[in-house]
Amino acid sequence: MPFTRYAEVGRIVLVNYGPESGKIATIVDIVDQNKCLIDGPESGVARQVIPFSRIALTDLTVKIQRNARAKTLKAAWAEAETTTKWEATSWAKKLSMKKKRATLTDFDRFKVMVAKKQKSAIIAKKMEELSA
């Protein structure tokens, strides 16, 4: 399996660790083997040097020049519809689902239990019909 996700100028990354964790940003320049300069004006990530161990590469890229200014970055993001594309990926959906689950109240968890029971009842009935 060859590599498809490269650390390069314009690659969208997800920050994994630190105060900005959970947000996406773009690689604006590469410092060296271990560090890169990221910026995410649209997602609220300040322009900073971050080590690769704190980020995860995604499949998305934007077309920018090295060291693009925040304004050009924002325009490139809007043109590529990055935020909508990211939110449509199953990765982003799983992350938001986890977040939501962490904030459920007891009543919400009760509602989830009831919904699960209803769902499995429908499935069981259908299975009975099919096997009969």
Pick the closer one to other proteins by CB: 15 or 113: 15
Q: Which stretch binds other proteins (CB under 8 A): 29-37, 72-80, 89-97, 106-114?
A: 29-37
Task: Candidates 23, 41, 47, 91: give the one binding other proteins (CB under 8 A).
Answer: 47
Binding mask 63-82 for other proteins (x = CB under 8 A): ---xx---------------
Q: Residue 27 or residue 43: which is nearer to other proteins going by CB?
A: 27
How far from 112 is each of 9, 101, 108, 121, CA to CA, in Å?
Answer: 43, 10, 6, 14
Instruction: Give the integer Cα–Cα distance in Å for 113 and 42.
Output: 37
Distance CA 129, CA 55 (A): 49
